[in-house]
Amino acid sequence: MNTIKTVAFIGLGVMGYPMAGHLAKQGLTTRVYNRTHSKADAWAKEHGGTAHATPKEAAEGADLVLICVGNDNDVRQVTTGSDGVLSAMSRGSFLIDHTTASADLALELDAACREQGVAFLDAPVSGGQQGAENGALTVMCGGEQHHFDTVQPILAHYSKAVTLMGTASSGQLTKMVNQICIAGLVQGLSEGLHFAEQAGLDQQQVIDVISKGAAGSWQMENRHKTMIADEYDHGFAVNWMRKDLNICLEQARRLDATLPVTALVDQFYADVQRMEGGRWDTSSLLKRLRKPQ
């Protein structure tokens, strides 16, 4: 199959909702499913696609099915469950999982898809809600080259970079590296801003200076203003970051990889959860440092 005209998008959270919208705007026939049906109905009203009662129903007749849900169990439910998409997908169609999930799940889905003659890619994304809304996500894929070549133009509708990292599960492993790096960066930025505040420095002026040098990062550029303002409702939630870091730490144990900073920051996020900050964004590590001792 070289032409993809009908797509199904499963999962309309803060990422999936705008991602599916980009596909509809490109003229693709877009069928959607969301666990909260009212959200799917709202999406269909806004974008002109069709909302469906089950993942299976949404996948019927689709050339390509895309998934962006919460965790491994959610993915299994919407793929291999009784009303999952694989019960409706035909030979020669494509299944892409954008969920940040385990490498084991990617291999499990790859095997299930092969049995049905369905092409599979694990394709977690980075860039957050802002990246999804602006069509500027980074997508890291695992799968076969010829399958990737077919779907890459579709993924490009909401991405600035789409890269094949290797065979099935390579996308998820790459996303783990991404989350490991982010954890240390956010903690470092939080400590720097906290130090500047305690030292009586103008935090904004400090960032203006150091962001031009080696300390600069995406996190610094995009999160410093809200962190200084003590606002933490601007991105990826702590609860989801802990889910991702647990995946990273479990995989590291299997690989005999040592991640001391990641393990420490994971515990700092546990502290934030105990502060009832599970829904705050990941930059709330600063809030933990600011709390009364």
Catalytic residue of the set 25, 56, 160, 175: 175
Residue that is written with structure tokens 């959860």 in the block: 273
Nearest-angstrom CA–CA distance, 79 and 206: 49
For residue 142, list its beta bridge partners: 122, 166
Residue that is written with structure tokens 């666990």 in the block: 35
Give, in order, the Cα–Cα distances in Å from 159 to each of 19, 131, 247.
9, 8, 24
Count CB neighbours of 137 within 10 A. 27
Nearest-angstrom CA–CA distance, 264 and 279: 20
Q: Tell me whether residue 45 is one of the annotated catalytic residues.
A: no
Q: Which residues contact 161 (CB under 8 A, 6 or more apart)?
A: 138, 139
CA 157 to chain centre: 16
Residue ranges of E strands in 153-290: 159-166
> SS in 3 state form for 81-140?
CCCCHHHCCCCCCEEEECCCCCHHHHHHHHHHHHHHCCEEEECCEECHHHHHHHCCEEEE
Question: Checking DSSP bridges between strand 64-67 and strand 94-97, what pairing results, if any?
Answer: parallel
| Dihedral angle, C-alpha 20, 22, 27, 33, nearest 10 ° | 10
> What is the DSSP-derived secondary structure letter of residue 200?
T
Q: Which residues are catalytic?
A: 175
